[in-house]
Amino acid sequence: MTAVGAMGILICMLAYPFAVRRHGGLRLAVFSGLLLAHLATAIFYYVWQQTNTSDAPLYYYDQYGFYGRGFGFSTIFVIYFVQYLRDLIGGTYLDYFLLFQATGFWAVIFMMRMFEEIYEDLGVHQPLWTYAILFLPSLHFWTSPIGKDGPLVLAAAMAAWGTINITRRWPILAFAFIVMVCFRPHIALIGLSSLAFALVLDKRNSMRVRVALIATVVFGLAAVAGTLRSTFSVDVTSAGSVSDFFATQAQTAQLFDTGSAVLNASFPVRLVSLLVRPFFLDAGSALGLLASFENLLVATMLITFVAKFKLFRDSFQRVLFFRYAAIFSAIVLLLLAMVYYNVGLGLRQRTMAFPTLLVMFVTMWALLAKMRPTLISAPA
């Protein structure tokens, strides 16, 4: 490890002042545990990918010479970014794992901050389990290597945090969408569309404010649509172009079928597979068993959303960040299910929706805790 890797660790440590509103022994312990867990996972991934398939070598070694062909978005952006940094400051293969894992760690810290804000603003005690879910394996494993996943999960978490107080945090929100554009432009399109829908349905703001915010979002949508067209040759205003894009994704899926695919399954089966597979019986390995335990939480979240539907509906109607989180999560998961074909890839890609899913789950439990004294004291 050189100074480049040390810089990645330092970037993680600098997150502590932001992580919490009030400092204390518990919060420091949680932060330290998260940092150690994420660093250990990054090193584990570095070792693991030596004998397993990974995109990391493509980004660091640029075997096909993409860097010399000029700037671009998505995969090309990651290659360009890594190669530019290598020319500028050097660094080993491990260094760039440690550098990129900092984005995933900051994503977890944004979620930690959101959970604390939700409970403090509602004036109820924050339970320990809300800290425990920050140790979910996927949040650390898939966001620790060189690649797109860490920055994208960070952008998703930043956008969710920004919508909690959009009038003050709009620069953070704008930066989150810029990051999405760089790493996966279509996710930026989903994020901006989700925000537009959330704002249209928000009746608390004056018409002038709503029009100004929506106009800004529409301008962003137009810019991202142009990026998608130049990067992926997808015209989002054309149903045929979008259909061809999904057909291409399906053909790619068939080329890379690894035996755990559901290529010919119906859409509901694909969606359920995306959400809760593997689930113990089809785990197949120690990592699969670990993912199965994680999927218990995913199943619990879904059951909670259905069982407490009235609270979910009321939160959706009244709270902007909850509404944004619900729309973003739904669109991401539905679109991923459309091109879903492999359990491993599903586990990786659905992580983009974890910040918004988890913030909804935590919000609902915080609201239930807020309502509990009222429910207990209410006459039979």
Buried residues in 8-45 as b, exposed as e (16+ CB within 10 A):
bbebbeebeeebbeeeeeebeebbeebbebbbebbbeb
Contacts of 277 (CB under 8 A, 6+ apart): 295, 343, 346
Positive or negative torsion for Cα 73, 75, 76, 78: positive
pLDDT in tens, the chain (380 residues): 788 899 999 999 999 988 877 777 888 899 999 999 999 999 999 998 888 878 888 898 988 888 887 778 888 899 999 999 999 998 899 999 999 999 999 999 999 999 999 999 998 999 999 999 999 998 999 999 999 999 999 999 999 999 998 889 889 999 999 999 899 888 888 898 888 888 887 776 666 666 666 676 666 556 655 554 554 444 444 444 344 444 444 444 444 444 445 556 677 888 888 888 877 776 667 777 888 888 889 899 999 999 999 999 999 988 899 999 999 999 888 888 877 667 777 788 889 999 999 999 999 999 998 887 654 444 43
DSSP state of 64: T
Q: What is the pTM of this model?
A: 0.84
338, burial (CB in 10 Å: exposed 0-12, middle 13-18, buried 19+): middle
Residue 350: predicted pLDDT: 87
Residue 140: predicted pLDDT: 93
Q: How far apart are CA 321 and CA 329, in angstroms?
A: 12
Q: Is the previous residue joined to 171 through a cis bond, with omega within 30 degrees of 0? A: no
Residue 376: predicted pLDDT: 45
Positive or negative torsion for Cα 143, 146, 149, 150: positive
